[in-house]
Structure 1
Amino acid sequence: MAAISDVARLAGVSKATASRALSGRGHVAPATRLRVEQAAAQIGYVASPDAASLVTGRTKTVGVIIPHVNRWFYGEVLEGVERTLLAAGYDLMLYHVGAPGAERDRVFDYFLKRKRVDAVLSVGIDLEASELASLDQRDKPVVLLGGSGTGAARLAIDDRAAGQLATEHLLHLGHSRIAHLAGTGAAANPHAVPGARRRGFLEAMSAAGLTPAGRADVLEAEMSLPGGYESGLQLLGHPGRRPTAVFTASDEMAFGLMRAADRLGIAVPGDLSVIGVDGHEYAELFGLTTVEQDPGAQGATAVGVVLRLLGEGPDADPLPDSGAPLPTRLVVRSSTVRLAR
């Protein structure tokens, strides 16, 4: 098996120079770096990450914790995260974190403590104080992308503003009987993503004078296509209380709601206007009006913050605790129309 000394001898440099050239750390003249790389390729030398870790104290690995691996939003985030990490020479170690319980506890109390990662990126998880404390004990950078938690660098869209914008769009079109399909636990946890979007809906309705006694037509369901379908059947199945417009907490819920409306013979947008949040890749196919975000770009931005906290890469501007929310925009399509008088 080829060793770094073999590379150095073939390239005519010291072992220290060969190591700097292949690791990218420290100054090496471009011509010398090229000669070392060619020598390494010629004899099939591959640098040992374990050996590099002993020297630098770094594993070149970022731990990513995520609540779903089979949802569009999270898949897009992961693609952006992985692409940016690989470009920076880092690996990704992925952990699925579900509902509170023994399995989730093991991720924080065992794997993230014992596995060697340089930083932790939490995607869309509402972290408990004890979980954040467990991560802080590792003395490694922690970055939150969405979700909720304090004491760590955090990037997120303004979910309350997204809910408010979506509702105001429906109000502007003349709708007053507006319902909201919220994510599960929205009322119980107002600081989580579903809760913040629900809050934006309620504030917009209240500002329009349409929530007497603080009440509004809100149903909670899983933020998925099946969740939107099942809750949509419940919401739309009573003609006397049927809304003329619905704001759903995610585009996938909106797709399910539109399928439920079709099954019930309710035309979208003729009888019902629908708006979601996310900017799903199928939103245009469904003609769905949505408050669009870019999860792939968000993943890349989060990695930029991780690298800055690790002292590598270009400066991220700004850090999440002092910067503006991640961008969103209203994209109007055929699923929302002015209320017929």
Structure 2
Amino acid sequence: MTRKDIQQVLDWAVAEFGIPGIVAEVRDGDRTWFGTAGVADIETGARRQPGEYAHTGSGSKAFIAAVLLSLEAEGRLSIDDTVNKWLPGVLDVNGYDGDKITIRHLLSNTGGLFSTGLAPELTDRFATRSGFLQHRFDRFTTEDLLRMTVSQPPVAEPGERFEYSNGGFYVAEAIIEKVTGNSFAEEAERTVIRPLGLANTYVRPDHETGYREPHPRAYSTLFYKDGTDSAAVTPENWASMMEEPGLEPLDVTEFNTSWVPGNVISTTGDMIRVINALVDGTLLPPAQHREMWTTVSTEGGNWTPHTRYGLGVFEFEKAAVDGLTLRGVGGSYWGCLFYTVGTPDGHTVSIQTNTEWKSWDVLFKIVEAEFGVSIGA
């Protein structure tokens, strides 16, 4: 099983965008392939390797959704329950209405919540180099995250449109803990990690800031210019606020990510098992599987182009492989990008870079090389 076209894309990504290191793992039936370009460590020149631990970023949202759908299948809640049924008053702030926002809204990013990733509570701490160095080990409590979720007014009515927001998933995690009396980590272990045999996947405890071995170093240039007023940053103008290109990347490997919903650490191999089970319907019962993959348009909602969003998962709008929809999970933040996409017949590719998103062309070209489809065509 050779993947010359993908290898060329990996090499191109390092040369064109300055990505320190990138890996891609492919599984097609019982055949596998692993490719890499660049390095795991700029200082030592160590190469990237199979089985490296990395943060799944917003891929963790699929775990949150799967837990809640599993609880629904067990008869312990409905994803059409309102937030106020389980967390009375938590969203009744700043123009939000917890009697109108449901769990389904939270998981599909259609609750009208503002884009929490641009909240000053985060950007003031991490979005400049000096701020990151000062605050990289700050720890966020559940109360901090719920307060940040409603710190700015709604951007739409519940169900009106898609707007990508971490805040809905902070609330979703809190509902899991209220319903079960267990931590999200315990419920993710019970309903997803153990059933799928994910030996190299875990929810990072809030106090931890590093990774198990082996792992790449993580590097970032995702910083605003010094002096940027974070309150003036919007989903439309943020790119103009960024540092000038060409600056040396900052090593951000040790970083408290307690503000990342789910906070799941995994490997490309394990994430292939996750997306295979979510796509082919082997993890969830049929009713919950259909709910997970009932999708809405993401156009204008600050998310991956040419996609539709389900519950913690996405699918490409027009890219089908032999009539099969191409579906996945993924995300990016300081020092990390992790996307895994595949079809229901078990043909899957997982990619990870030890820096954040640089261009959608990296993801799209890998998908095109592996599946022979053009994204957005």
TM-score strictly above 0.5:
no
Q: TM-score range by the shorter chain?
A: under 0.3
TM norm structure 1: 0.22
Structure with bigger helix share is: 1
Larger CA Rg, structure 1 vs 2:
1
TM norm structure 2: 0.21
